[in-house]
């Protein structure tokens, strides 16, 4: 799943400080919950074995028809 040393709350607070984005104390639990979810999703993708010969997905461009 996620890295055991990933501190989502510390990460949220530090990133908010760096980009000068105030996070209301009432919103912090939701931000932390979403960061933990994103970390679990990233770990799932990173754990997949994808062969080098696998082709990349096509690029989607809005408004174009194939």
Q: pTM of the entire structure?
A: 0.69
How far apart, in whole angstroms, are the C-alpha atoms of residue 36 and residue 41?
A: 9
Average pLDDT over residues 49-55: 86
Residue 31: pLDDT band by 50, 70, 90 thresholds?
A: very high
- Cβ(45)–Cβ(29) below 8 Å: no
Residue 15: per-residue pLDDT:
97
- Cβ(40)–Cβ(6) below 8 Å: no
- Per cent of the chain over pLDDT 70 is 89
- Cβ(31)–Cβ(12) below 8 Å: yes
Residues 6 or more apart whose CB falls under 8 angstroms from that of 45 comprise: none
SS3 of residue 23 by DSSP:
coil
Question: Between these two residues, 27 and 59, which has the higher pLDDT value?
Answer: 27
């Amino acid at each position: 799943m996620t890295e055991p040393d990933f501190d989502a709350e510390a990460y949220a607070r530090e990133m908010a400080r760096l980009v000068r984005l105030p996070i209301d104390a009432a919103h912090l639990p939701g931000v932390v919950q979403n960061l933990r979810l994103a970390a679990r999703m990233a770990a799932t993708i990173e754990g997949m074995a994808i062969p080098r010969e696998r082709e990349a997905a096509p690029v989607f461009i809005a408004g174009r028809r194939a």
